């Protein structure tokens, strides 16, 4: 029945030729997205002031250089260890340390004393990484993500080489709401400010339907408009579970945003990031 | 006492702006200069007529804001002690300020030496008894509830005692985050260890009279609905619940908040609860049925709020109909003039307009 209707419409369109009405845009979930009132308006001065003076202001004013500590939960297993090493090649100026029975709350003052700006903790479950805690160190916000679909370098089908030491460019896509802006700025503050275009490397954080996809590519401009890309580096997807104001403190922390499944997932067309 | 524009709720934000929110039109207006160093710590009414607000900020200044004129009329610096303000109140045209290090000062208008009280360090909240304005309650981290009378600044009138050791024989830590005075003289406190406690200063027992546990997140705000058999608590995870004081059971959970709750207030006459917090939204819930009435997105994280109880929600509603009625009368006059010319078609139309 539907096929018949579609064929009829196609015939009408061909018959009308130039005067045919434009094709109807199909409805997708992104098209039908419920308008979020927290969407950031670029001209809004209060939000601009808020962002200019929040915890990332020293980074965006180029006063601090990011220095990142990557660690895991206790006793990491094979895949997680390799994932951490690959992640540290992707993010410049990062160090991997292993934890054997050290509490996070005690590590944090030591990190602040040694001038680290960010802390990444990769949580592991049954030998695969499944969670990420990203904490901006001098009392900055802490974001807790669920990580899925992790692909290590040798599992990605390509023929490229290893990523070099050049500082990559950063692309942040589709972080429109106020919460999305905060998370986007957290990701941006991981990478140093001046990307080295000689390296032709780019790290992309793409947000779609509240899932953040991370990809790392090397690009070549074949001509004015054609670009060839080669995927290198690990890839993973993240979903934000909570954003805590202040450093990681699970017992007494104050949360800026928590994902509450029963309340927030009721509408299929409403997204928060 | 209608303020210009009819602001129902006044909210203070971390960026230093005082926002007046009109719930009919769902609009907010900013008053004050945006200044991160001057983030609002506490708000209170200047007097029982609710025409003035006292705004206490992070840079230790207390500003007087007039709701009728719509601007800040006066400002004072209140130095002394360490840490941000944790409470502000007025009594007999004197301002009482309290800072986190425990220094409570009563600043008088005539410029004499401020009266000082030392309440111990690590304070989280100071509140004034609405019935007996000379009494103040203070509570904080490892600083149990103390009730002070301004006439006797040396010693607290009532000093609470910690509960007995728990079942492992360990000392139970104290962290009072918020407290409220009940009209019967009792005091309710909520702690960051998820406990809600009721103390009775009149009884010889210094330990809490009633204790209840709620939730898995520290409780950060407390409000009293009219009737005083229950309390409303808000937590750092965004759970707001109405808890019965007689048995300690949860009566109702109010949903919708996705960040930590910083301030709660109930309307004394209507079943309304206003809440604001770190998720940058002001929400109004219906207390009896629990559904969300209003939600306004205010762009910065909010720290404190004040409900205007003098504003009448009903008077606002009567304004739109009068202009319509005026138009109806004009139309009637028009149809009356035309009736003599054409009779049949106009009758049903005239009947319809007069029915309205």
Contacts with B258 from chain A: Cβ below 8 Å: 257-258, 260, 263-264
CA-CA distance, A88 to A70, in Å (whole number)?
7
Q: Report the candidate in B158, B95, B85 with the shortest Cα–Cα distance to residue B126.
A: B85
Residue bearing tokens 């004040």: B306
What mean pLDDT, rounded, does chain A reach?
85
Contact B260/A245, CB-based, under 8 Å? yes
* Shortest alpha-carbon distance between residue B189 and chain A (Å): 17
Per-residue confidence (pLDDT) for residue B63, from 0 to 100: 87
Q: Report the candidate in B148, B149, B145 with the shortest Cα–Cα distance to residue B163.
A: B145
* Shortest alpha-carbon distance between residue A39 and chain B (Å): 10
The neighbour count for residue B143, using CB atoms within 10 Å, is: 18
B287 contact A CB<8A:
no
Residue A181, pLDDT above cutoff 50: yes
CA-CA distance, B140 to B119, in Å (whole number)?
10
Q: Report the candidate in B268, B277, B24 with the shortest Cα–Cα distance to residue B254.
A: B277
* Shortest alpha-carbon distance between residue B283 and chain A (Å): 14
Q: Report the candidate in A198, A136, A213 with the shortest Cα–Cα distance to residue A167.
A: A198
Structure letter (DSSP) for residue A39: B
Asked if B274 contacts B284 with a C-beta cutoff of 8 angstroms, the reply is yes
Structure tokens at A173: 């896509």
CA B210 to chain centre: 24
Contact B279/A253, CB-based, under 8 Å? no
Residues of A at the B interface (Cβ-Cβ below 8 Å)? 37-38, 44-47, 49-50, 53, 178, 245, 251-258, 260, 263-264
Residue in B30, B256, B297 nearest the CB of A38:
B297
Burial of B351 (0-12, 13-18, 19+ CB in 10 A): exposed
Q: Report the candidate in B152, B157, B146, B96 with the shortest Cα–Cα distance to residue B121.
A: B146
Q: CA B147, B153, B154: angle at the middle one, nearest 5?
A: 95
B278 contact A CB<8A:
yes
Per-residue confidence (pLDDT) for residue A238, from 0 to 100: 93
Enumerate the β-bridge partners of residue A121.
Answer: A71, A133
CB burial of A54-81 (b: ≥16 within 10 Å; e: otherwise) equals bbbeebeeeeeebbbbbbbbeebeeebb
Structure tokens at A188: 């941006």
Q: Report the candidate in B162, B163, B209 with the shortest Cα–Cα distance to residue B184.
A: B209
Q: Where are the beta strands (DSSP E) in chain A?
A: 68-72, 94-96, 118-125, 128-136, 142-151, 169-173, 201-208, 211-221, 227-231, 235-245, 254-258
Contact B301/A44, CB-based, under 8 Å? no
CA-CA distance, A239 to B244, in Å (whole number)?
37
Residue in A50, A253, A260 nearest the CB of B236:
A253
Asked if A136 contacts A57 with a C-beta cutoff of 8 angstroms, the reply is no
Per-residue confidence (pLDDT) for residue B350, from 0 to 100: 46
- How far lies B317's CA from each of B34, B287, B321, B327, in Å? 33, 22, 8, 18
B218 contact A CB<8A:
yes
Q: Please state the pTM of the whole predicted model.
A: 0.81
Contact B258/A257, CB-based, under 8 Å? yes
Q: Are strands A169-173 and A201-208 parallel, antiparallel or unpaired?
A: parallel
Contacts with A254 from chain B: Cβ below 8 Å: 218, 220, 236, 259-260, 278
CA atoms within a 13 Å half-sphere pointing along the CA-CB vector of A180: 23
CA atoms within a 13 Å half-sphere pointing along the CA-CB vector of A133: 19
Per-residue confidence (pLDDT) for residue B329, from 0 to 100: 53
Residue in A37, A46, A254 nearest the CB of B300:
A46
Per-residue confidence (pLDDT) for residue B334, from 0 to 100: 65
The H or E element containing residue B190 is: strand B187-191
CA-CA distance, A271 to A268, in Å (whole number)?
8
Residue in B36, B278, B297 nearest the CB of A245:
B278
Contacts with A56 from chain B: Cβ below 8 Å: none
Q: Are strands B187-191 and B195-199 parallel, antiparallel or unpaired?
A: antiparallel
CB pairs under 8 A between A and B: 60
Which pLDDT tens digit goes with each residue over A122-160?
Answer: 988 888 889 999 999 888 899 999 999 998 888 877 766
CA-CA distance, B263 to B286, in Å (whole number)?
16
Interface of B with A in 123-152 (CB under 8 A): none
Structure letter (DSSP) for residue B171: P
Contacts with A255 from chain B: Cβ below 8 Å: 217, 236-238, 259-260, 278
Which pLDDT tens digit goes with each residue over A9-38?
Answer: 888 777 776 666 667 778 888 877 877 777
Going across the sheet that includes B158-159, the strands are B123-128, B135-140, B143-149, B158-159
Burial of A28 (0-12, 13-18, 19+ CB in 10 A): exposed
* Shortest alpha-carbon distance between residue B208 and chain A (Å): 23
* Shortest alpha-carbon distance between residue B296 and chain A (Å): 9
Structure tokens at B89: 């109140």
Contact A47/B30, CB-based, under 8 Å? no
Which pLDDT tens digit goes with each residue over B297-346?
Answer: 888 888 888 888 776 655 444 444 444 444 445 556 666 666 555 544 44
* Shortest alpha-carbon distance between residue A32 and chain B (Å): 21
Residue bearing tokens 């400002």: B75
Residue in A37, A46, A255 nearest the CB of B236:
A255
B53 contact A CB<8A:
no
Q: Are strands A94-96 and A68-72 parallel, antiparallel or unpaired?
A: parallel
Which pLDDT tens digit goes with each residue over A37-64?
Answer: 777 777 778 888 888 888 888 888 888 8
B291 contact A CB<8A:
no
Closest-approach residue (CA) in chain B for A48: B299
Burial of A220 (0-12, 13-18, 19+ CB in 10 A): exposed
Asked if A263 contacts B239 with a C-beta cutoff of 8 angstroms, the reply is no
Contacts with A42 from chain B: Cβ below 8 Å: none
Give ipTM to 2 decimals. Answer: 0.78
**Euclidean distance between the first and the last CA atom of chain A, given in angstroms as a whole number:** 40
Task: Please report the domains of chain A, with CATH numbers, ordered by start residue.
Answer: 40-265 (3.40.50.10480)
Contact A37/B297, CB-based, under 8 Å? yes
* Shortest alpha-carbon distance between residue B238 and chain A (Å): 8
Asked if B268 contacts B276 with a C-beta cutoff of 8 angstroms, the reply is no
Residue bearing tokens 């957290």: A186
Residue in B217, B259, B299 nearest the CB of A46:
B299
Enumerate the β-bridge partners of residue A128.
Answer: A125
Contact B30/A46, CB-based, under 8 Å? yes
Per-residue confidence (pLDDT) for residue B331, from 0 to 100: 59
In which residue ranges of chain B is pLDDT below 50? 1-3, 315-328, 343-356
- Probe site for chain B from A38, A46, A52 (most B CB atoms < 10 A): A46
Per-residue confidence (pLDDT) for residue B31, from 0 to 100: 82
CA-CA distance, A188 to A193, in Å (whole number)?
9
Contact A38/B30, CB-based, under 8 Å? no
CA-CA distance, B266 to B4, in Å (whole number)?
23
């Amino acid at each position: 029945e539907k096929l018949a209707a579609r064929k009829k419409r196609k015939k009408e369109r061909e018959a009308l030729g130039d005067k045919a009405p434009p094709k109807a845009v199909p409805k997708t979930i992104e098209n039908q997205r419920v308008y979020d009132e927290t969407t950031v308006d670029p001209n809004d001065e209060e939000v601009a002031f808020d962002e200019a003076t929040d915890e990332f202001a020293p980074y965006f004013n180029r006063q601090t250089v990011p220095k990142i500590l990557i660690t895991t939960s206790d006793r990491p297993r094979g895949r997680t260890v390799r994932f951490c090493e690959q992640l540290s090649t992707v993010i410049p100026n990062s160090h991997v340390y292993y934890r054997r029975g050290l509490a996070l709350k005690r590590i944090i003052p030591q990190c602040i004393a040694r001038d680290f700006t960010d802390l990444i903790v990769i949580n592991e479950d049954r030998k695969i990484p499944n969670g990420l805690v990203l904490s901006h160190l001098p009392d900055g916000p802490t974001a807790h993500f669920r990580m899925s679909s992790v692909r290590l370098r040798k599992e990605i089908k390509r023929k490229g080489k290893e990523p070099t030491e050049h500082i990559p460019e950063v692309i942040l896509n589709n972080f429109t709401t106020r919460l999305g802006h905060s998370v986007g700025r957290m990701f941006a503050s991981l990478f140093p400010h001046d990307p080295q275009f000689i390296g032709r490397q780019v790290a992309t954080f793409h947000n779609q339907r509240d899932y953040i996809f991370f990809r790392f590519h090397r690009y070549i401009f074949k001509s004015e408009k054609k670009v060839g890309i080669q995927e290198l580096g690990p890839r993973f997807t993240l979903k934000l579970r909570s954003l805590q104001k202040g450093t990681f403190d699970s017992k007494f922390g104050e949360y800026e945003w928590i994902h509450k499944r029963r309340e927030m997932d009721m509408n299929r067309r409403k997204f928060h990031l | 006492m209608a303020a210009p524009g009819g602001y129902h709720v006044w909210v203070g934000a971390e960026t230093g702006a005082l926002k007046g929110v009109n719930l009919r039109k769902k609009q907010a207006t900013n008053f004050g200069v945006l200044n991160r160093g001057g983030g609002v710590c506490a708000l209170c009414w200047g007097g029982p007529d609710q025409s003035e607000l006292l705004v206490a900020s992070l840079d230790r200044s207390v500003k007087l804001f007039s709701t009728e004129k719509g601007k800040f009329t006066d400002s004072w610096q209140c130095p002394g002690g360490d840490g941000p303000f944790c409470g502000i109140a007025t009594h007999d045209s004197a301002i009482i300020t309290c800072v986190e290090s425990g220094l409570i000062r009563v600043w008088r208008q005539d410029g004499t030496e401020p009266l000082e009280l030392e309440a111990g360090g690590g304070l989280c909240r100071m509140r004034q008894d609405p019935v007996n304005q000379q009494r103040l309650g203070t509570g904080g981290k490892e600083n149990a509830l103390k009730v002070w009378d301004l006439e006797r600044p040396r010693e607290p009138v009532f000093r609470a005692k910690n509960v007995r050791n728990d079942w492992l024989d360990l000392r139970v830590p104290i962290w009072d985050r918020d407290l409220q005075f009940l009209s019967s003289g009792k005091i309710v406190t909520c702690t960051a260890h998820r406990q809600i406690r009721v103390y009775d200063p009149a009884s010889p027992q210094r330990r809490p009279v009633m204790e209840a546990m709620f939730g898995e997140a520290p409780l950060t705000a407390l409000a009293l609905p009219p009737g005083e058999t229950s309390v409303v608590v808000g937590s750092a995870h965004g759970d707001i619940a109405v808890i019965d004081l007689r048995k300690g059971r949860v009566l109702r959970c109010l949903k919708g908040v996705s960040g930590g709750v910083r301030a709660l207030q109930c309307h004394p006459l209507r079943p309304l609860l206003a809440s604001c917090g770190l998720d940058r939204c002001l929400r109004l819930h219906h207390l009896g049925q629990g559904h969300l009435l209003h939600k306004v997105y205010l762009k910065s994280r909010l720290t404190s709020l004040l409900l205007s109880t003098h504003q009448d929600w009903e008077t606002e509603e009567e304004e739109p109909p009068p202009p319509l009625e005026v138009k109806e009368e004009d139309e009637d006059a028009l149809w009356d003039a035309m009736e003599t010319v054409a009779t049949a078609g106009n009758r049903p139309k005239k009947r319809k307009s007069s029915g309205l």
